[in-house]
Structure 1
Amino acid sequence: MVFYVSIASLIAVGFSYIGIYKSNELKQRKNCRPKTLVIIPCKGLDLGLEDNLKAITKQNYDRADYLGVVDSLQDESVSVLEKVGINYIISDYTCEKCSGKVKAIATAIKKYTDYDAYVIADSDIRPNSNWLEDLVSPLCNDRVGLSTTFPYFVPIGGLASKVKAVWGTVGQSLMESKLTRFGWGGSLAFEKSLISDKMDYFTSNISDDSALTAICKSKKLDIAYVKEARPAIYTAENFPQFWEWANRQTALSINASPRVFTYGIIFYSLYIFEFFSAVLLTSISLAFVYLFIPVAIGVYRVYERSVIKSPIFAIIYLFIPFIYLANLLKAKRMGEIIWRGRQYKLQKILDP
């Protein structure tokens, strides 16, 4: 019994520290304004696409151009790009193993070379007017290779969309530590020099953010996380759609770094063990109520990271470790993914 309590207590201390710890961020230079091309890969009609595109282009930044990239003139997004007044091109870069998004980004970079920096903006984000300035600012630090953020999800559907909103706060927690930080492809800024000598590597990958993260790390550069640049993503998924999305995100993460699976299984298994230990031991004696501290910190962090707050988030948070564990187990067995209507085979990612 003493050994069991000691193990549970030690795990509780560890998770409490993880819940509290945040890496110190590099200071941003607000006068940093490199000439920037914002690349917006578009395919189909994302939820609120017109409002998203308007928000992306209405920035307090006078040294930026905005470019949509589509697969064909028949794509449904073309009429919206024209209505908002965004120039667009057809994706035509030649690459065999790349995804449609990687192909779109490579097409833009190849054709538009007269820029100091590039920003990838997913067409489902809805940022504020300072998003671009905040996102680009860290690039003036020579130690920074990528500048990124992570979205907050605005649930406008049923319970599944609220689960996704809480699921997303875990992604934000990964960004707050340099050990687990990655470049999120929905809002990602980098200088031309980062990728100019790595285009062959970049275009041999399915995931743009995994490839750019690997390139950044290979050059021993930092990834800056800019919380102020978090965009909104409006979500109305049902449970099958959420499950497919969460498994795809997890599969791409595992494919980029197989350690994600090992660490994830250990982390969430221990968390579940600690949670049930807290329930069991507290039912015996209230003296063990301190074992719920990691859960309390977790709920607090969800509310801190959530722009849209709801009491149900606290309840959903209790189930997130089980959902993540299920995502990891499912994603590990996935040999291919379906992304934007296309099927991609997951292949081992080599070092740049």
Structure 2
Amino acid sequence: MNLVILVVTFSSILLDIGILLQIYAENKKFFKEPKGGNYHGKISVIIPIRGLDTNLEENVRSILNQDIKPLEIIYVIDPDDPYRETIENILKKYDVKITHTFYNCTLCSGKIRAQLSGLLRSNGNIIVFGDSDTWYPKYWLRELTLPLSKYMATTTFSFASPAKLTLRNLIRAGFWTLGIESQALGGTFLWGGSMAFKRSFFNEDIIKCLSNEWCDDCTLTKIVKERKGKIGFIGNAIPLNVYDEYNLFKWAQRQVLTVKIYSYRGAKAFLVFGLYISFLLVFLILTGIPLLFLPFLLWIIKNLLRGRRLGKKAIFPSLFSIIGIYFAWIVLILSWRKKKVLWRDKVYTIENKQ
């Protein structure tokens, strides 16, 4: 038993070192200074929308209040949305373009149909995709698009901003911090709520490829990598995903299954990490060794530093980031064999892409 405790304690020290190195590298590379770049052009911001989002009007105003003004902001509404009329009445109060999804693809998701519809209606030479349930800081668009002079695509990742401090909202907030973990130290995937491209990127082949997929950011990430392009992760332009979650498990199930489908090795690695971090917690409870608490504390500090530009909005996601690990791990185990996901009131049948 003493040998086991020694091994676990030593492994926790290695984890401490790893987290400290990660904090140092992140703050040196992309959570401290802007990426830079000098790419300028007319920007089209395309926002698919289905359902009545919490904080919708504030989210619209956040895009209108950017310190670099877009050529156009296009909201693409699902014509079958039961809230269509209400959404249109809200959007008509603002200087945005409103269009309905018209692009036809039988295999793609409703979001991709909306994105492609917006793309074909847009006039800018920079294309930015966002989410209707997200609030964007005023510097977001500038810092996302200028680095396109150095990257094929740029992206960031949001912090969660619960509309109410319920337990399910706080667990979701902690869960959501895991998205940044997957960015490693250089931008490894695109996040659909904040993606920027040169318009020339979207040729007929890419549009055709998207037409056969249900995950927009996963597919675009794969295309960029196949083209040997670089993804610029803009860590200091983090927006806020504003929500009030009522079906936490099904929401989380879609997130983890997306990872499993498009990054099978990543999902398997998380199964191993979740098992290890569970053992660590058990040994902390059984032995009370203070040193075993340090990795959990450092994990929280890491997320607080990531969100420091957001001020107090980063506190709850960071504090619940540990619970988010365990919750995501359990959801992944329980959902491993699932073949269907619920997304914006629509059910999609899924299959592995790797």
Q: TM-score, normalised by structure 1?
A: 0.87
**Matches of 2:218 and 2:40, distance apart in 1:** 26
* RMSD over aligned Cα atoms: 2.4
Deviation at 1:312, TM superposition (A): 6.8
Deviation at 1:56, TM superposition (A): 1.4
Q: 1:117 aligns with which of 126, 130, 143?
A: 126
* Equivalent residue, structure 2, for 1:279: 285
* Equivalent residue, structure 1, for 2:118: 108
In structure 1, the gaps of 5 or more residues are: 283-287
Partner deviation per Cα, 1:261-287 (whole Å, 9 max, x = no partner)? 2111011111111222233344xxxxx
Change (3 A) 1:309 1:59: closer
The answer to whether the Cα contact below 8 Å between 1:30 and 1:133 also exists between their aligned partners in 2 is no
In structure 2, the gaps of 5 or more residues are: none
Paired residues, number: 339
What percentage of residue pairs aligned between the two structures are identical?
24
The answer to whether the Cα contact below 8 Å between 1:139 and 1:145 also exists between their aligned partners in 2 is yes
The answer to whether the Cα contact below 8 Å between 1:248 and 1:331 also exists between their aligned partners in 2 is no
- Compare 198-207 and 28-37 and name the one that shifted more: 28-37
**Matches of 2:162 and 2:139, distance apart in 1:** 23
Deviation at 1:19, TM superposition (A): 2.0
Q: 1:337 aligns with which of 338, 341, 345?
A: 341
Q: Does 2:223 correspond to 1:215?
A: yes
**Matches of 1:246 and 1:237, distance apart in 2:** 10
The answer to whether the Cα contact below 8 Å between 2:191 and 2:217 also exists between their aligned partners in 1 is yes
Q: Does 2:229 correspond to 1:225?
A: no
Q: Does 2:262 correspond to 1:256?
A: yes
The correspondence of residues 161-172 of structure 1 with structure 2, limited to 5 A, is 161-172=169-180
**Matches of 2:314 and 2:186, distance apart in 1:** 29
The answer to whether the Cα contact below 8 Å between 2:34 and 2:234 also exists between their aligned partners in 1 is no
* Equivalent residue, structure 1, for 2:199: 192
**Matches of 1:90 and 1:215, distance apart in 2:** 26
**Matches of 1:232 and 1:310, distance apart in 2:** 10
**Matches of 2:251 and 2:51, distance apart in 1:** 17
* Equivalent residue, structure 2, for 1:55: 62
The answer to whether the Cα contact below 8 Å between 1:148 and 1:226 also exists between their aligned partners in 2 is yes
**Matches of 1:314 and 1:192, distance apart in 2:** 36
**Matches of 1:115 and 1:314, distance apart in 2:** 37
The answer to whether the Cα contact below 8 Å between 1:34 and 1:63 also exists between their aligned partners in 2 is no
**Matches of 1:331 and 1:139, distance apart in 2:** 37
Deviation at 1:73, TM superposition (A): 8.3
The answer to whether the Cα contact below 8 Å between 2:34 and 2:236 also exists between their aligned partners in 1 is no
Deviation at 1:37, TM superposition (A): 0.9
**Matches of 1:270 and 1:300, distance apart in 2:** 20
Partner deviation per Cα, 1:26-83 (whole Å, 9 max, x = no partner)? 9633643222210011112100111111111221113531111112287132112211
**SS at 2:127 equivalent:** strand
* Equivalent residue, structure 1, for 2:298: 297
Amino acid paired to 1:19: I
Partner deviation per Cα, 1:196-220 (whole Å, 9 max, x = no partner)? 2321112211010111111111112
The correspondence of residues 15-30 of structure 1 with structure 2, limited to 5 A, is 15-20=15-20, 21=22, 22-23=25-26, 24-25=29-30, 28-29=35-36
* Equivalent residue, structure 2, for 1:348: 352
Amino acid paired to 2:302: R
Deviation at 1:148, TM superposition (A): 1.0
Change (3 A) 1:314 1:279: farther
* Equivalent residue, structure 2, for 1:134: 143
Amino acid paired to 1:221: G
Runs of 4+ in 1 over 6 A off after TM superposition: 310-315
Change (3 A) 1:176 1:299: same
